[in-house]
Amino acid sequence: MDDSLSKLLILIPAFPLAAAIIIAITGPKLLKQWSHVPVIVALVASFICSLGLLNEVRRRSASVDREHSGLVHAGFEHVVNLWTWADIHEAYELPGVSYGNSEISILDQGTRDFRIDITLRSDALTAIMLSMVTFISTLVAIFGAGYMHGDRGYWRFFAYIGLFVFSMTMLVSVSNFILLFVFWEAVGVCSYLLIGFWYEKPEAAAAGKKAFLVNRVGDFGFALALFLIWTTYGTLNYHDTRADGETDPVLVAQAMETQLAGDAPGDNDSLVVRGVVGRWRVAANDYATGGVALAICLLLLLGACGKSAQFPLHVWLPDAMEGPTPVSALIHAATMVTAGVYMVTRCTPLFMASPEAQLTVACVGAFTALLAGLIAMTQYDLKRVLAYSTVSQLGYMFLALGTGTVVGISAGMFHLFTHAFFKALLFLGAGSVMHAMGNVIDMRRFGGLRKLMPTTHATFMIGCLALAGFPLLSGFFSKDSIVAAVHDRVHTIEHELDHRDSHEMHGATVDSGHAQHEAAEEGKAGSPLASWDHDQLHRFAVVYQWLYYSAMFTAFLTAFYTFRAFYMTFYGKEVIPHEAGHHAHESPPMMAWPLIVLAVCAALAGFSLDRTIIEGPNSFGTFLLQTPSLADGAAAATFEPFKFHKNVAGTSGAIAIVAILLATYMYLGHQREIEWIRRLMDFEQFGKWFDVESVSRWKEVAWVKQLHTAAQSVRLGWLTAGIGNVILLLALIAATPFMLGHFVSPYKLSLGKFFIDEIYQLLIVLPLRGFAVVCYAIDRWIVDGFVNLVGRIPLLAGGLMRSLQMGLVQFYALAMVLGVLVLLVARAVLAAG
């Protein structure tokens, strides 16, 4: 515990937790409108500690101790065990299965204790996430102090912020899947509290509930994945430990060397329990393949889709706009939605064992990016446009992670890092506009704000340029690195196909069984492509090629809808909604300074961390690949030197510029083209030509009437009427696609968000609600009715007996006489029988 890394790991989450507790206790009565002070101070302290951790990890990564052969594996990690949460002795027996065939593979066997240790870890991935989360959270908290000023829930807001940041910093710091799940849920609870912060608004309460419930679907998949991981690998720790819980890498290496030498340890405590993404398992590439690997990865992906708002679980994020704008910035930029990307990155070795799962991740990401981009094109709520852009950009990150290469994974994490800056900038800029416009956020109700809000205008423009991928800004470097990674993936697979075809052309005749065995062996030790058959390679190449085209088209959509929102907000005739009154003005310095800082980061972060454009180093990627799970094993086998793809960057940059110019022409001109395109995409003519009224209007044509009259004179009117009705029916059937085209036109599909919410409402919510009503009725009238009936039987019996006790002597005498008569009759009957 004396190590500086251990102290920093503890302090980073401890500061915001302490601030949240202080505000919760003293905020309502003592701090009141000063409740922001503890959180801002705590977040600044956490950010400083995060920078110290980042620097220390980078320094130690450059000088890893290689004294023991067990530590020759690349990368650096530091694990600190705080205490043991649960310890059940001899809880389970390992199956004794090894999935690898490396010289450092061992059988996971023997009796194990079920231990849950509260462990924190520091490696490159954790250091990057902590520094980003604490930096963005600090600026959001400072902005929130101005934005939320005067709100009666002021203290509660900052208590939630502190708890939210604590949960997120713990999520990226823990070294155990159980703890990851715990803080995964904690982040979800905090998001529920913050999205529904203004719980008196029905929309806010509904949005918070929706976010919570939709995430439960993903969390269910995540929980199932954890069960599968535990039954497959016998542990839920990321890191390697001895069976007694010892995490010191030197002692673990010594124990591992003893096992590899074949010397049986004296007791189970000396056995090494290899972590799921620990050094030894990663180096041996000892992971299950086939159906087990696919099931684990798809369940993990389901959890990530819920938290990171990927299709089909993306519907909660746009509705999360009902919370305060600083909450939107925090959720979209630095905390909740990045958790899914982080988790998939952390589990890279598991996904490397299943190419099908990797392709699924890429397809989900690309489809989500395209879908969200199409929806954002027609939205008029400024925050909702930014929300769908977040969904789209997260799709880009998943596309990068799905390439299955460390360069692609690095690109996805780099985009997560840069996206945090410009997306926080854009959301806070939208909050600045909303603050000035009297909480109005509909872009049709305001405009021309550039002179009224010059600081917001300038910083918002930088954020838009970065999001659009304008050359030399941060989004240009990170987004293009994703597209380039997909491009490289296509060419890598095609190169493998060409290599195999060339062998066949030169008459290479090798026994097929022997060849497959060699391919499998090579796949275990080196490139995963070697274990794929020819048809599989061809299918993957085709799919990745289409994903590349989709990414390019989505880049065009991103630039266009971003500047559509920018021009509608800041250009054109100056329009101020009446809710703003006469007090519309630029935001105060406490809200403006975070915008300026974020604008500088959005402009410079890309080039400062990736200088491959001038043949310099990719500092971000080089540092990230010091993470042990990325620096060895199957992931490391996919590594290629970082380079700047001029062709891809040129194409992507040109697409962004063309989209920006198109938006400029359309929204700074007379906007006639916009209305013309809207009418074209709305299929308005279909509504005029192919509605039911126009199709049936043919009955009123003069010659049709004359024909019908002539037919009636010879008593054939019934025939013409029947034929006419048949023709009308056929015409209506033929016109049905056109009628649907009018009601479900591309424009209406985009404006209606492809009616996904309505489909879920129809297919899921309403049936579940009906089922709940039936269950309530059964519980209320059958179950409770039976219990109530049992409870009322004594009451009824008592009432009946009470009615016999009337207090009249005559009644008692009559009862005695009747009783004697009954006994006599009964006796006579028995005697006669």
Q: What is the pLDDT of residue 711?
A: 57
Mean pLDDT across the stretch 501-524? 54
**Weakest mean pLDDT among 43-47, 85-89, 195-199, 778-782:** 85-89
- At 590 the three-state DSSP class reads helix
Domain membership of residue 637 (yes or no) is no
Distance of CA 815 to the CA centre of its chain: 81
Counted domains in the chain: 3
Is there a domain that residue 47 lies in? no
Residues 6+ apart with CB under 8 A from 46: 11, 12, 13, 15, 16, 134, 137, 138, 165, 169
User: What is the model's pLDDT at position 532?
Assistant: 74
pLDDT for residue 8 is more than 90: yes
Sign of CA dihedral 703, 705, 708, 712: negative
620 close to 610: Cβ distance less than 8 angstroms: yes
CB-CB contact of 236 with 177 (8 Å):
yes
Q: Report which of residues 282 and 599 the model is more confident about.
A: 599
The phi and psi torsions of 3 (rounded to 5 degrees) equal: -65, 140
Provide Rg for the chain, Cα atoms: 34
**What pLDDT is attached to residue 811?**
79
Q: Cβ neighbours of residue 436 under 8 Å, at least 6 residues apart? A: 449, 452, 453, 456, 580, 584, 585, 586, 587
What is the predicted pLDDT for the residue at 670?
59
Q: Specify the range with the lowest mean pLDDT, choosing from 287-296, 457-466, 706-715.
A: 706-715
Q: 496 vs 375, which has greater pLDDT?
A: 375
When pLDDT is cut at 50, 70 and 90, the band that residue 690 belongs to is very low
410, part of any domain: yes
Instruction: Indicate whether 487 and 434 sit together in one domain.
Output: yes
Residues 6+ positions from 301 with CB-CB distance below 8 Å: 221, 344, 357, 360, 361, 364
Q: What is the arithmetic mean of pLDDT over 757-767?
A: 89
Do 493 and 587 sit in the same domain of this protein?
yes
Question: With left for phi above 0 and alpha for psi between -120 and 50, is residue 14 left, alpha or beta?
Answer: alpha
Q: What does the block give as tokens for 503?
A: 């062998």
Residues 421 and 557 grouped into a single domain: yes
Q: Are residues 664 and 781 in the same domain?
A: no
Question: Which of 103-112, 596-605, 758-767 has the least mean pLDDT?
Answer: 103-112
Take residue 800 and report the two structure tokens written for it.
Answer: 């009946």
Separation of CA 539 from chain center: 27
pLDDT band at 529 (very low <50, low <70, confident <90, very high): low
- Helix (H) / strand (E) containing 363: helix 355-376
- Window from 101-110, 145-154, 217-226, 494-503 with minimum mean pLDDT: 101-110
Q: What pLDDT shows up at residue 515?
A: 47
pLDDT at 757 over 80: yes
* Parallel/antiparallel/unpaired status of strands 108-123 and 77-97: antiparallel
The pLDDT mean for the chain works out to 84
CA distance 395 to 577: 35
Q: What is the pLDDT of residue 702?
A: 57
Label residue 67 by pLDDT band (50, 70, 90). Answer: very low
The reply to whether 650 and 699 lie within a common domain is no
Is 84 domain-assigned? no
pLDDT tops 70 at residue 2: no
The answer to whether the beta carbons of residues 310 and 340 sit under 8 Å apart is yes
CA 629 – CA 350 distance, rounded (Å): 10
Q: Which amino acid is at 430?
A: A
Helix axes 589-609, 474-505, angle to 10 degrees: 30
What does the pLDDT read at residue 387?
94
How confident is the model over 420-441, as pLDDT tens digits?
999 999 999 999 999 889 888 9
Question: Does a structural domain hold residue 50?
Answer: no
Cα dihedral sign, 563-565-571-572 = positive
In a domain, 329, yes or no: no
Q: Give the residue with greater pLDDT, 356 vs 273.
A: 356
Measured between alpha carbons, how far is 464 from 474 in angstroms, rounded to an integer?
11
Enter the DSSP assignment of 196. Answer: T
What is the pLDDT confidence band of residue 250, given thresholds at 50, 70 and 90? confident
Regarding whether 663 and 587 lie in a shared domain, the answer is: yes
Rounded mean pLDDT, 389-394: 95
CB 548 within 8 A of CB 492: no
Q: What is the mean pLDDT of residues 578-592?
A: 84
Which residues are bridge partners to 87 per DSSP?
115
Say which range, 184-193, 238-247, 282-291, has the weakest mean pLDDT. Answer: 238-247
My answer on whether 661 and 735 are in the same domain is no
pLDDT band of 671, cuts 50, 70, 90: low
Same domain, 664 and 761: no
| Residue 398 confidence (pLDDT) | 97
3-state DSSP call for residue 764?
A: helix
| Averaged pLDDT for residues 28-53 | 94
Residue 810 has pLDDT above 90, yes or no: no
Q: What is the pLDDT of residues 630-647, one digit of tens each?
A: 887 788 778 888 888 899
Task: Please say if the pLDDT value at position 119 is more than 70.
Answer: yes
Lowest mean pLDDT, pick from 35-49, 54-68, 102-116: 102-116
- pLDDT of 72 > 50? The answer is no
Based on the fold, state whether residues 731 and 776 are members of the same structural domain. no
Residue whose C-alpha is closest to residue 349's, from 621, 637, 57: 637
pLDDT at residue 26, as a whole number: 93
Average pLDDT over residues 781-794: 89
Q: Return all residues near 223 (Cβ < 8 A) that are at least 6 apart.
A: 181
Please report, for residues 54, 131, 776, the alpha-carbon distance to residue 82 in angstroms, rounded to integers and kept in the order given: 21, 22, 47
In degrees, to the nearest 5, what angle opens at C-alpha 514 toward C-alphas 509 and 516? 95
Comparing 772 with 69, which gets the higher pLDDT?
772
Q: Identify the residue whose tokens are 């703003």.
A: 580
Same-domain pairing of 406 and 496: yes
Residue 495 within a domain: yes
Q: Is the peptide bond before 746 cis (omega within 30 degrees of 0)?
A: no
Backbone phi and psi for residue 469, each to the nearest 5 degrees, phi listed first: 80, 30
- C-alpha 305/C-alpha 391 separation (Å) is 10
Q: Looking at residue 11, what is its pLDDT?
A: 95
Question: What average pLDDT does this structure show over 17-39?
Answer: 92
509's tokens: 């005749």
CA atoms within 13 A on the CB side of 213: 12
Question: Are residue 597 and residue 553 in the same domain, yes or no?
Answer: yes
Contact 467, 426 (CB under 8 A): yes
The residue from 695, 722, 744 where one domain ends is: 744
Confidence of residue 700 (pLDDT cuts 50, 70, 90): low
Tell me, yes or no, whether 738 lies in a domain. Answer: yes
Helix (H), strand (E) counts: the chain: 35, 4
* Domain around 372: 358-507+540-609+645-680
Q: 729 exposed, middle or buried (CB, 10 Å; 0-12, 13-18, 19+)?
A: exposed
Confidence of residue 814 (pLDDT cuts 50, 70, 90): confident
Query: 463 with 421, same domain?
Result: yes
The amino acid sitting at 798 is G
Nearest Cα residue to 598 out of 460, 472, 470, 479? 460
Percent of the chain surpassing pLDDT 70? 82
